[in-house]
Structure 1
Amino acid sequence: MTYEIIDTTPLDPIAQPLLDALEIEYTTRYREFRPAGATARSDEMARYPASLFAPPEGAFIVIVRDGETVGGGAFKRFDSTTAELKRIWTHASERRQGLARRVLQELEARALRQGYRRVYLTTGFRQPEAAGLYGSSGYEPLFDRSIAPEIHFRLPFGKDLLEPGRVDSLHDLVQPEPLGQR
């Protein structure tokens, strides 16, 4: 299968399937934890202006196969040396085939080209497959794994892009307490 990687913006209609699917995913997985329902999830998806995901400080990509958006993700500036990955998604029919890993690799390459030396992200505690992907892709868990994931709610990870496997460069990204439902 041939996949096309397109650098775009969250405002591009080609990105809409990714954003719609993410909203459904969050709704389904976290329904009982977000009593405000769909409004809270829509607010979360619109939380960041599209300009944050544009070069030189950000990026937004989609992966298209046969004219259909099947994956994508983005990053924005976290600090002067760190890109924060956001909105990583793969269509349900494309999962467990390496596409999400490819999204990560594409975003990491763009972050390096744009001058970042490390990446940071959070994923929800009800997304164990995402946490597994990040762990197997060299991302260091930046949370206390002895505490139940649902206490953390959001699970932070980091990766040194210049020296993958190096963890001492990530210490300032560790939060002093679990990232609850703030």
Structure 2
Amino acid sequence: MTNTSPRRSDLWAVATADVTSDEALELLREYFYDVANRYYRLHFGREGAPEELESGLADSPSGDLVAPDGLFLIGRHDGAAHSCAGLRRLDATTVELTRVYVRPALRGTGGGARLLAAVDEGARALGADRIVLDTRLDLVEARALYLRNGYREIPAYKSGPYAEVWYGKELGAPDQQVR
């Protein structure tokens, strides 16, 4: 007997979006609050105060995640916006992945993998053959997601207060990718 029920990841669809839309801004705020509060809990034993979080969000603009040198993606689960990711061009062949977020209630449903597959497509559309990113060591779920989806640790390509580990992925033609 064949199982005809949809796979969990079949409920996900990802498309480019306006980074200034209400949905995008809501997801970006949730992303920032999630990663910032994890940092505050780890290093200070407390949640970030609302004014600290809002100040940090204001200091981390996403306005460069637009054409022609960037893009912003929103992932929809069963039609509702629940994930996001952004790309920005670093040079003629390299883009940087940033703002990767899946709402906690939907982690483990295939949304992260579907989002990263769309990131690959978006990077190719920007003319890139390489994606790089930096992240923190404590963001273990994100790091595992990157490794499961073809990213490998690379030497630091930039520095920053929250950059503790760096990943890269070489993009071949879509039919050459290992799934």
TM-score range, shorter chain: 0.7 to 0.9
Per the alignment, in what secondary structure is the counterpart of residue 56 of structure 1?
coil
Over aligned residues, Cα RMSD in angstroms?
2.8
Q: Which has the higher contact order (CA 8 A, sep 6+)?
A: 2
**1:43/1:141 Cα in 2 relative to 1: closer, same or farther (>3 Å)?**
farther
Shift of 1:104: 0.8
Q: How many residues align?
A: 158
* Paired position in structure 2 for 1:162: 172
Distance 1:11 1:152 in 2: 24
Deviations 1:103-134 (A, max 9, x none): 11101111112201100011211111111111
- Runs of 4+ aligned structure 1 residues displaced above 6 Å come to none
Partner of 2:7: none
Structure 2, unmatched stretches of 5+, are 1-9
Partners of 1:65 and 1:154 in 2: how far apart? 31
Structure 1: distance between partners of 2:144 and 2:122: 22
**Unaligned residue ranges in structure 1 (runs of 5+):** 145-150, 166-182
CA–CA distance in structure 1, aligned partners of residues 120 and 87 of structure 2: 9
**Residue 88, structure 1, aligned to residue 100, structure 2:** yes
Q: How far off its partner does 1:143 sit?
A: 4.7
Q: Name the structure 2 match of 1:25.
A: 34
Do the aligned residues in 2 keep the contact of 1:125 with 1:152 (CA within 8 Å)? no
Specify which of 64, 83, 86 is matched with residue 71 of structure 1.
Answer: 83
Q: Describe the SS at the equivalent of 1:53.
A: coil
TM-score (norm. length: structure 1): 0.74
Q: Deviations over 1:26-84 (max 9, x none)?
A: 2321005479855554454342351x111221110111234532111111112221110
Q: Distance in 2 between matches of 1:85 and 1:73?
A: 7
Identity percentage of aligned residues: 23
Q: Mean alpha-carbon deviation: is it higher for 77-86 or for 24-33?
A: 24-33
Contact kept? 1:27, 1:37, Cα under 8 Å: no
Q: Residues of 1 paired with 2:169 and 2:49: CA distance?
A: 33
The residue correspondences of 1:8-157 to structure 2 (distance < 5 A) are 8-31=17-40, 33=43, 38-39=50-51, 41-46=53-58, 47-50=60-63, 52-143=64-155, 154-157=164-167
1:79 partner SS: coil
TM-score by length of 2: 0.75
Deviation at 1:6, TM superposition (A): 3.2
Offset of 1:3 from its aligned partner?
Answer: 3.3
- Deviating more after overlay: 110-119 vs 17-26: 17-26
